[in-house]
Amino acid sequence: MSEAFKGLAEAYASLQGARSAWFVRARHVPETIAKLGLIGPSDRLVVRANDFTDAYLHHFGNGVLTFAMDQTPEAFLDATRSSAHPAAGGPKEGHASYADGAGARYDRLFWLVNSIGCRGLRVPDIRVLAEAAREAGAILIVDNTVASAWGCQPLSLGAHIVLEALDRVAGGALHAKAVAIAVARSVSGKGRKRRTDELAHRAYCLLAQRLGGEFSQLVFNVDDADLAIISEGLQTLGERMQRHTDHARVIAEYLAAHPLVPQTCYPGLKSHPDHDVAARTLMHGFGPAVDFELAERMCAGTFIKRCAASHRDHPAGGRATRLSPLCGDESHYIRLFAGLDDPIDIVDSLEQAMRLYCNPPHA
């Protein structure tokens, strides 16, 4: 273990209010969970991530994976009840990669939600969901990639594990993609007020068994060059994320008023269904992303090609605003991540693309 890792892990854990933190070479959150083997064959994973369905289906079998229909506690409980337990009638032996001893029966329940995510950039009430998870005996995992550690602190709201793809933290400069993992403290208070969160302790044991103890890491290590980039990125994260977030709001307000945009989804708009929840869950604004729908005759792929500022080939999390089709090139839905570039230039580029689509040049 390098000193670079230890210092960075301590800094990231402090930012998240976590017991410990690790960094894993992986493209995104579902790949990270699969890579670590957190979900065994007799466990259940209930996920709400309808903008990332294919990735979860790719990494997890139908036997352990169930999709919740909404981000509410009721939807997660319904999905939990409706899924047949993989261990029912099966062998008692457990999965060797887990923290418990050999021969234990595994029937763990995991709930996973995004702090900002799904189509329409929904924001769950993490505090309420965490209370429901605790009553259900579920370890609550939050994908915090869109909001970042600067924009949301799920552990302080009751989550047990938080994961974050680090493209934006690193400003799009990583040589290999990486995901940060942080786990909640399991003990709080002193003396008679001392309390132990058993689910948080189990979450730590699962991660420590796979990765190493507090502020140590044995496998899936990110190299020192990328650790240095992440460390530098953390020092400027607040300043950069504030600009990302402020620019997203400007672009969202423009799109919300445009006659050729039937729907604009941004948690900072009062029209967003989770606006009030986002105001008490997110910090420093409402995130760097905007989802919007094009008029029916417009296709996302073609629109993006005609938009000079789409920057589809630029690195994720970098300085440039990026547009990508949310449901494929033939759909009408686009997700925009605001960059550090001038939002007025982006608005102008979007306007020109709208006009070009409506009035194409004659051959």
pLDDT by residue (tens digit) across 253-280?
999 999 999 999 999 999 999 999 999 9
Phi-psi region for residue 37, left (φ > 0), alpha (ψ -120 to 50) or beta? left
C-alpha 319/C-alpha 240 separation (Å) is 9
Exposure string of 261-277, with b = 16+ CB inside 10 Å and e = fewer, is beebbbbbbeebebeeb
Residue 315's pLDDT is what? 85
For 344-359, the pLDDT digits (tens) are 999 999 999 998 877 7
- Is residue 159 within 8 Å of 15, Cβ to Cβ? no
Cα angle 102, 108, 112; round to 5: 135
**What does the DSSP assignment read for 21-58?**
EEEEE-SSHHHHHHHHT-S-TT-EEEEE-TTSHHHHHH
Q: What's the average model confidence in pLDDT over 278-306?
A: 94
- What spatial distance separates the first Cα and last Cα of the chain, rounded to whole Å? 62
pLDDT digits (tens, 9 = 90+) for 155-203: 999 999 999 999 999 999 999 999 999 999 998 777 777 788 999 999 9
157 DSSP 8-state letter: G
> Tokens 């429901």 belong to which residue?
132
pLDDT band at 95 (very low <50, low <70, confident <90, very high): very low
pLDDT of 88 strictly over 50: no
Does 21 have pLDDT greater than 60?
yes
Q: Which domains does the chain have, with CATH numbers?
A: 3-225 (3.40.640.10), 239-358 (3.90.1150.10)
pTM attached to this predicted model = 0.91
* Average pLDDT value for residue range 317-322: 93
Percentage of the chain surpassing pLDDT 70? 92
Grade residue 23 by pLDDT with cuts at 50, 70 and 90.
Answer: very high
- The yes-or-no verdict on residue 104 having pLDDT over 70 is no
Averaged confidence pLDDT in the chain:
90
> Which pLDDT score, from 0 to 100, does residue 1 have?
57
Answer whether residue 89 shows pLDDT above 70: no
Give the model's pLDDT for residue 84.
58
pLDDT at residue 172 in the model: 95
b (16+ CB within 10 A) / e for 95-130:
beebeeeeeeebbbbbbbbbbbbbebbbbbbbeebb
Question: What is the pLDDT confidence band of residue 361, given thresholds at 50, 70 and 90?
Answer: low
Output the CA–CA distances (angstroms, integers) from residue 228 to 67, 320, 358, in the order listed.
37, 22, 47
Task: Return the closest-CA partner of residue 46 out of 22, 9, 3, 77.
Answer: 77
- pLDDT for position 235: 95
pLDDT value of residue 82: 86
Q: What angle do helix axes 29-36 and 198-211 make, rounded to 10 degrees? A: 80
pLDDT reading at 154 higher than 70: yes
Looking at residue 190, its pLDDT comes to 72
**How far, in Å, CA of 358 to CA of 354, rounded?**
6
What is the DSSP code (8-state) at residue 143?
E
Could you report the per-residue pLDDT of 37-58, keeping only the tens digit for each?
999 888 999 999 999 999 999 9
Strand partners, 291: 265, 335
pLDDT for 3 = 79
